[in-house]
């Protein structure tokens, strides 16, 4: 029996996910000392449930179990129940997901873990149905079993939890391999592995469910350039074409869903995540530049159109009035997955003119029976069609009818009940989208994207950044073991989440690393010295708070996080880059731009810490492999000398961004750039120098000559 309960403790939280559970009859606690103290005082096990607001199966488990009075009464009597938003606390999620994956062989959300009062895990899984099915026990049945074990075998459980904790601690040690060579062979082996998983029919790397995994195709494009591997490049371009044509791509409103359940990219899991769309915008910018270098210019423009499509969606639906980017949109609306996005043939016949309808049916592959059914609902909707580009060949005049049909369909869809939008603003994910907007401005030349990036950075600096005291490290200073010589108290602080006027108190590596990457992207797109100054402040704070100067690598959380049983170095590039991967590449770029060795040394030490993993499990760290690709060669420096505000300067900088070369950096000749660049003059008001080491080609003020030199 289900009922709407009075508000519980989660009603005081900011997380949309926690607020979704604020009226469950479960006596929920947020993650924190109040819950831990009660568990210790009453010697009760902790029931930890981790999910996120746009997670479909999290909604299902809430409806089935957490809204059920009988389940809630048992939980309240025998457990201390804690609800965590994995997007607010990825550090908590990482620790317990590692346990679940190690003990069950798989992971996912909702994540269900049982802990001792000192927060050590002893049993875990993911979704549990209300009654036994799918090979899982019923949730109430599981609760009764765990409670009985706690009463009858308490000492055994505690001993097992201690052993598990010791193994987790050992696994998180990241043993270094200082003598393992880091060479181009590591990249070549990784490329061969990724290529072996390529789907030659539908594109993508791996089978269904198919995730875009932007880090993999982006790395393959790097390898294609390094090794002259045209086959790798074609695999990526084919994948980009097929994803853009698939249902995973919102053909009306723009943006991409998180993944497709089938091999053809046709039927998505409809939730849209900011981090996916930021990385996909970068991938399609790569594809645009790579394909423009060959004979397929129309295809290059198609890829550029996908970038615009993503960023238009973000600007329209995912941007706070102040400039911050929201986190995600749900898959469900009105209780049905995909209801907002799908169409029946009858519905379209009533909405469109006969000409529009005929073209739309052919182009989008509309059928009476449909191609999608939401099996998670007891009363699934019938005849639902996910839109994809089923037949792109249009006859003369059909383009007009297609555009007209899309306009009507988008207008009609906008009147539907929208999926829930998770409107929290995360520094980490905003950094990813900031970088995508900045690069889109640099490559495509649309001032809207620069404005979006600048406004976003202003928002983050106002809401989530607290500046430290004046930095104590001078440009020429270095330090032993790649450690900078200031304390954490002397540098700025970046917080993780802002929502509804309030920020959290969590400090995470990924916030600093992703935002640093985005700010460097904005600096290279504009060469405004102020952006480079802020990048330096972020980098110094990140190293001071997270870098392990003895062993190398970066801790996921800052020291003194007393609510964690482990302090770990994230070593897995999943749907997002790991903090270590993003930090390494950003520091290599910043070191090359500024000439400050401590940044480069910290990045090198991180690469060496993970050398064995890069060699043996490359699929686990494609983003760190990209950093390795950058590190293997001295980067090519494009110095644009002159006034960043002048028209001539902007034209030259745009030309420099118009050629695909992932291991080049852009810098101006003023501000905190390296000394050699500061000495380069700007004859005629603006000029470009192509430099490697201390050698530069003759300057040019001709954008066409810049493109010729870079190509």
Residue 134: its pLDDT value, please?
73
CATH number of 635-711: 3.40.30
- Cβ atoms within 10 Å, residue 390: 17
Q: Where does CATH 3.40.30.10 sit in the chain?
A: 9-171
Q: How confident is the model at residue 295 (pLDDT cuts 50, 70, 90)?
A: low
Residue 497: its pLDDT value, please?
97
229 has a pLDDT exceeding 80 = yes
486 has a pLDDT exceeding 70 = no
Question: DSSP secondary-structure letter at 48?
Answer: E
Q: Are 244 and 301 in contact (CB under 8 A)?
A: no
- Mind listing the pLDDT tens digit for each residue in 15-51? 999 999 999 999 999 999 999 999 999 999 999 999 9
| Closest alpha carbon to 666 in 679, 684, 681, 649 | 649
Coil/strand/helix, residue 29: strand
What whole-number percentage of the chain has pLDDT above 70?
Answer: 95
Residue 375 is encoded by which pair of tokens? 């099996």
Q: Are 651 and 660 in contact (CB under 8 A)?
A: no
- Quickly name the fold that domain 9-171 has: Glutaredoxin (3.40.30)
553 has a pLDDT exceeding 60 = yes
Residue 369: its pLDDT value, please?
95
Alpha carbon of residue 515 to chain centroid: 12
- Mind listing the pLDDT tens digit for each residue in 504-542? 989 999 999 999 999 999 999 999 999 999 999 999 999
Region 204-230: mean pLDDT is 96
Which uninterrupted H or E stretch holds 638? strand 636-642
Please give the mean pLDDT across all residues of the chain.
Answer: 93
Residue 190: its pLDDT value, please?
97
Region 570-593: mean pLDDT is 96
pTM, entire model: 0.94
Residue 488: its pLDDT value, please?
47
Residue 133: its pLDDT value, please?
84
């Amino acid at each position: 029996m289900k009922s709407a309960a009075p508000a519980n403790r989660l009603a005081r939280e900011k997380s949309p996910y926690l607020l979704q559970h604020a009226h469950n009859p479960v006596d929920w606690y947020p993650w924190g000392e109040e819950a831990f103290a009660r568990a210790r005082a009453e010697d009760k096990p902790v029931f930890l449930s981790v999910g996120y607001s746009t997670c479909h199966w999290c909604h299902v488990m809430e409806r089935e179990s957490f809204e059920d009075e009988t389940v809630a009464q048992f939980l309240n009597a025998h457990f201390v129940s804690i609800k965590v938003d994995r997007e607010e606390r990825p550090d908590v999620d990482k620790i317990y997901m590692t346990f679940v994956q190690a003990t069950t062989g798989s992971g996912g959300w909702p994540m269900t873990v049982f802990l001792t009062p000192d927060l050590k895990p002893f049993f875990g899984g993911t979704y549990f149905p209300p009654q036994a099915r799918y090979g899982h026990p019923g949730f109430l049945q599981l609760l009764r079993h765990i409670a009985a074990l706690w009463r009858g075998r308490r000492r055994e459980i505690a001993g097992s939890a201690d052993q598990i904790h010791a193994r987790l601690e050992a696994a998180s040690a990241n043993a270094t391999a200082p003598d393992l060579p880091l060479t181009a062979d590591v990249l070549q082996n990784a490329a061969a592995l990724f290529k072996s998983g390529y789907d030659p029919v539908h594109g993508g790397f791996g089978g269904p469910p198919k995730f875009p995994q932007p880090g993999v195709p982006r790395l393959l494009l790097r390898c294609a350039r390094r090794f002259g591997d045209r086959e790798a490049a074609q695999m990526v371009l084919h994948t980009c074409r097929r994803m853009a044509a698939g249902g995973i791509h919102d053909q009306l409103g723009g943006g991409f869903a998180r993944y497709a359940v089938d091999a053809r990219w046709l039927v998505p899991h409809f939730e849209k995540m900011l981090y996916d769309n930021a990385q996909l915008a970068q991938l399609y910018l790569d594809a645009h530049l790579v394909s423009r270098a060959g004979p397929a210019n129309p295809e290059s423009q198609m890829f550029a159109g996908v970038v615009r499509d993503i960023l238009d969606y973000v600007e329209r639906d995912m941007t706070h009035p102040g400039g911050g980017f929201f986190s995600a949109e749900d898959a469900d609306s009105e209780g049905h997955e995909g209801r907002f996005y799908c169409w029946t043939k009858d519905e379209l016949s009533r909405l469109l003119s006969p000409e529009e309808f005929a073209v739309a049916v052919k182009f989008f592959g509309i059928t009476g029976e449909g191609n999608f059914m939401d099996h998670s609902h007891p009363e699934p909707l019938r005849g639902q069609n996910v839109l994809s580009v089923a037949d792109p060949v249009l006859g003369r005049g059909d383009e007009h009818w297609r555009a007209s049909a899309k306009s009507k369909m988008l207008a009609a869809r906008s009147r539907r009940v929208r999926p829930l939008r998770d409107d929290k603003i995360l520094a980490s994910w905003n950094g990813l989208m900031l970088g995508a907007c900045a690069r889109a401005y640099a490559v495509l030349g649309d001032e809207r994207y620069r404005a979006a990036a600048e406004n976003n950075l202003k928002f983050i600096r106002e809401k989530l950044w607290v500046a430290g005291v004046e930095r104590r490290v001078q440009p020429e200073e270095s330090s032993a073991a790649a450690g900078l010589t200031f304390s954490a108290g002397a540098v700025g602080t970046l917080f993780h989440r802002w929502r509804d006027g309030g920020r959290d108190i969590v400090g995470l590596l990924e916030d600093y690393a992703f935002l640093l990457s985005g700010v460097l992207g904005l600096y290279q797109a504009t060469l405004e010295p102020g952006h480079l100054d802020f990048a330096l402040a972020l980098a110094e704070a990140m190293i001071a708070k997270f870098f392990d100067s003895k062993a190398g690598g970066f801790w996921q959380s800052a020291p003194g996080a007393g609510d964690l049983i482990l302090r770990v170095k994230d070593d897995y590039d999943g749907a997002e880059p790991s903090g270590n991967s993003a930090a390494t590449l950003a520091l290599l770029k910043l070191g090359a731009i500024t000439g400050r060795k401590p940044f480069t040394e910290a990045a090198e030490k991180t690469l060496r810490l993970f050398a064995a993993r890069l060699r043996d499990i490359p699929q686990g760290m494609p983003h760190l492999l990209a950093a390795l690709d950058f590190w293997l060669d001295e980067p090519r420096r494009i110095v644009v000398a002159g006034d960043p505000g002048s028209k001539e300067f902007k034209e030259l900088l745009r030309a420099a961004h118009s050629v695909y070369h992932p291991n080049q950096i852009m810098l101006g000749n003023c501000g905190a750039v390296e000394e050699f660049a500061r000495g380069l003059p700007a004859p005629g008001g603006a000029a470009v120098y192509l430099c490697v080491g201390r050698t530069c080609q003759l300057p040019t003020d001709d954008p066409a000559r810049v493109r010729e030199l870079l190509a």
